A and B are shown apart, each in its own frame.
Chain A
């Protein structure tokens, strides 16, 4: 018996998220006395696959079949289920990202499993299986009990420490035997975001709100983000006004992020905005209104004019 973790790759490489995910799954496997198998679908070199061994995977099933490149949800779920059955998995763990969220519900039905999405901690009990997840968009947590024979989890990024075990994994080619009839998604066009730090991966995020006054005043924030290797974000009014792209909207109805450090410039901190950023480890708020609710959520704050503060911060970072 085993735990299966689905490790997605990006152009043949894993990310910090992948290692965090494997570390998390390995800790559950250890607790339950099970093995950890990682499933990789796509063209990933064995050297890269072997890295997963260092985070606790003892076996890696690799599926190299270009048909899966279309990320067809039905076909990919079948492949994950085939792998789970192959290793007798009681628990399947996905990342709580676009692909994980797409596949986990389908896989849970097929495996007769209880699904808990967005888990943030190790299970508090494994029999019965009880695990904590975010609810009300980060405004609360729930302890969820699974009343089914199997468990499927999606794991919220940046909530578990990466643990290197020094172990190694056996790589095994695997054919999930998914037929052509199960592929119906045709990709006409793929646009990858390049040259920018992806918001979900960013350890530092620099975000601006209505206090930025227009779409023309973002040079300073971009410079600061660049210096800090940070992702750029914005509040909902900013993306609604078209000052910044919708991809950058963080908040209840936009992206939910959990960086180590979140800078909120000119963001009042409406409850919907806080829902998207409240899991950040440290929140810094700069706002001219001392009564702005963002200061209740923030760890550090400056009451003042963002346009006076930004150049000083840039200077401070350069001197660091």
Chain B
């Protein structure tokens, strides 16, 4: 079995968000780039499945310019066997999914994070499944193999389920899929330098959405403080002033 893990290159989650060019573009100056947190968990789970046996190869792939290779190298250092970078800016989710659909056909299981922490699209995994005509399961918090089937824990609105689904499959994963993301060890970092990172030319595809501009939330008014000894006053304020109780 071969697993493909989709990787999104995103700003570190502690980044102060700023925009440039009259608020038309994200200000990437001084930003540290990381593997999207959910993709990192997906890769960790893929590694665990490989260690349990039955997985011959884990490939990581992204759509991005050369600057994103550091993030792919990190994924290789965590333990992926090889990497594919499709050489184009990630214009929108449909563009990205269209690119990935050209390289994803050989894999039995494709793992995608539930969203990327930058533009929160919740889109690439489902779009890729549709383009490949594969089934997809979203909000996945656990995945195991059982012969030719995948046994999956899925969160639904108001509970959870255990499913059996046959591949090939796109699993769109969230918290719970793996406990802690794996951190690359020194040996992994050394080995990653020798692992193949294949650069693939982009195919013709059209994006369907574009950002007009960005806005930061309006600044909050100062926090109204209540004395610790008189905490009951808070309930009165919430009831009479904020009218939320």
Q: Is the CB of A191 within 8 A of B160?
A: yes
Q: Complex formed: what's the CA distance from A55 to B191 in Å? A: 60
Query: In the complex, A10→B163 CA distance in Å?
Result: 19
Interface residues of A in 179-197 (CB under 8 A from B): 184-193
Chain A residue nearest to B128 (CB atoms) is A105
- Select B157's contact among A8, A72, A115, A148, beta carbons within 8 Å: A8
Query: CB within 8 A of A185: which of B14, B127, B135, B224?
Result: B135
CA distance A105 to B239 in the complex (A): 41
Known contacts A110-B130, A136-B117, A315-B232; decide if A253 and B175 are in contact (CB<8 Å).
Answer: yes
B244→A261 contact, CB < 8 A: yes
| A81 to B: closest C-beta gap in Å | 10
Interface segment, one of A23-31, A46-54, A137-145: A137-145
Residues from chain B with Cβ under 8 Å of A7 in the complex: none
New A-B contacts (20) at CB < 8 Å, excluding given A109-B131, A299-B224, A308-B228: A71-B156, A74-B129, A74-B136, A98-B157, A101-B126, A113-B208, A132-B215, A139-B217, A140-B217, A144-B211, A154-B122, A188-B151, A190-B159, A252-B37, A253-B175, A282-B244, A284-B238, A296-B223, A304-B231, A317-B245
Q: How far is the CB of B15 from chain A (nearest CB, A)?
A: 8
Q: What is the size, in residues, of chain B's interface with A at 8 Å between Cβ atoms? A: 78
Q: Does A246 contact B (CB under 8 A)?
A: yes
Q: Does A244 contact B (CB under 8 A)?
A: no
CB <8 Å contact, B93 and A105: yes
Q: Say yes or no: A188 contacts B220, CB within 8 Å.
A: no
7 contacts between A and B (CB under 8 A): A106-B129, A108-B208, A136-B119, A147-B208, A301-B226, A309-B228, A313-B235
Contacting residues of chain A (109-143) with chain B, CB-CB under 8 angstroms: 109-110, 113-118, 130, 132-143
Q: Kindly name the residue among B17, B19, B94, B208 whose own CB sees the greatest number of chain A CB atoms within 10 A.
A: B208
Which residues of B are found within 8 Å of A289, using beta-carbon distances?
A: none
Cα A260 to Cα B245 with chains together (Å): 9
Q: In the bound complex, what is the Cα–Cα distance between A77 and B161 (angstroms)? A: 19
Q: How many contacts A-B (CB < 8 Å)?
A: 265
Binding site for B on A (CB under 8 A): 8, 10, 70-74, 77, 96-99, 101-106, 108-110, 113-118, 130, 132-148, 154, 184-193, 198, 200, 204, 228, 246, 249, 252-254, 260-261, 271-272, 275, 278, 281-282, 284-285, 295-305, 308-309, 312-313, 315-317, 319-320
The 5 closest A-B pairs by CB, nearest first: A304-B228, A105-B126, A316-B235, A102-B138, A114-B208
Q: Are B223 and A117 in contact (CB under 8 A)?
A: no
Interface on B for A, CB 8 Å cutoff?
13-14, 17, 19, 37-38, 92-94, 97, 114, 117-127, 129-131, 134-139, 151, 155-166, 172, 175-176, 206-217, 220-221, 223-228, 231-232, 234-239, 242, 244-245
